[in-house]
Amino acid sequence: MGTVLDAATKDANGSLLTDKKVTVVFVLGGPGSGKGTQCANIVEHYGYTHLSAGDLLRAEIKSGSENGTMIQNMIKEGKIVPSEVTIKLLQRAMNESGNDKFLIDGFPRNEENRAAFELVTGMEPTFVLFFDCLEEEMERRLLSRNQGREDDNIETIRKRFRVYMESSLPVIEYYNSKGKVRKIDAAKPVEEVFEAVKEVFTPSNAEVAA
């Protein structure tokens, strides 16, 4: 299996064209903040490929992989799966997509995830889309969404919130200190949140259009 870098286009002499531009946007925010919902909207309007780390891990469980039981147990406990497992799944999905613009949803979830991704792929996010939402609203959404997820019960939800506060918020802080965070008020109805999201992705935004 190649890496995203291996998949970069080569010129007539077979040497790597180092200027192939891959756009990565990390989509972060607490459990139930609306990452998946808004990513679907972004895909429809802006031609990104949506990669949900949680969905890739759940697919890995279903595929009967040797890591399946370990991943399932971690998700049930709201814990963060080892970086190498998640990064491999993300790299594979990026390579298979044929696209060069990615929304990576729900990853990186801790500092180690972040550092490992940058080291292994050599990529940094163009920016980080951060869905900011009060915990009580996120809890209400998770308990009412009925997607049959084993981790949408109040006991696991509480654990996920704790992991988010302790491990994931520092990642958002890190990117904030680099001026890369685009914060969205995510406590509003889906359409209103998407209006704010559009402001970030609008082509007149030099960073995206570049």
Q: Is 36 in the site for Mg ion (CB under 5 A)?
A: yes
Whole-number Å distance between alpha carbons of 26 and 51? 10
Whether 201 contacts 208, CB under 8 Å: yes
Whole-number Å distance between alpha carbons of 82 and 119? 15
Tell me which of ligand UDP, Mg ion, none is bound by residue 79, counting a contact when its beta carbon lies within the kind-specific cut-off of 5 to 8 angstroms.
ligand UDP
Tell me which of ligand UDP, Mg ion, none is bound by residue 180, counting a contact when its beta carbon lies within the kind-specific cut-off of 5 to 8 angstroms.
none
Q: Is 108 annotated as a binding residue?
A: yes
Q: Is 145 annotated as a binding residue?
A: yes
Whether 46 contacts 205, CB under 8 Å: no
Give the residue from 116, 40, 134 showing the smallest Cα distance to 80.
Answer: 116
Q: Is 33 annotated as a binding residue?
A: yes
| Residue among 4, 25, 31, 91 that touches ligand UDP (CB under 6 A) | 31
Tell me which of Mg ion, ligand UDP, none is bound by residue 182, counting a contact when its beta carbon lies within the kind-specific cut-off of 5 to 8 angstroms.
none
Q: In the complex, what is the shortest distance from the CB of residue 118 to ligand UDP, in angstroms, rounded to a whole number?
A: 14
Whole-number Å distance between alpha carbons of 202 and 137? 28
> How would DSSP label each residue in 17-70?
-TT---EEEEEEESTTSSHHHHHHHHHHHH-PEEEEHHHHHHHHHHTT-TTHHH
| Residue among 74, 116, 187, 196 that touches ligand UDP (CB under 6 A) | 74
Pick the closer one to Mg ion by CB: 36 or 82. 36
Site for ligand UDP in 168-207 (CB under 6 A): none
Which residues have C-beta within 8 Å of that of residue 179, sequence separation ≥ 6? none
Pick the closer one to ligand UDP by CB: 50 or 160. 160
Q: At how many degrees (to 10) do helices 169-177 and 111-121 cross?
A: 60
Contacting range for ligand UDP; rule: CB under 6 A; set: 16-24, 74-82, 115-123, 127-135: 74-82
Q: Is 86 in the site for ligand UDP (CB under 6 A)?
A: yes
Q: Is 117 in the site for ligand UDP (CB under 6 A)?
A: no
Would you tell me which residues interact with ligand UDP (CB under 6 A)? 31-32, 35, 53-54, 57, 74-75, 78-81, 86, 106-107, 109, 151, 160
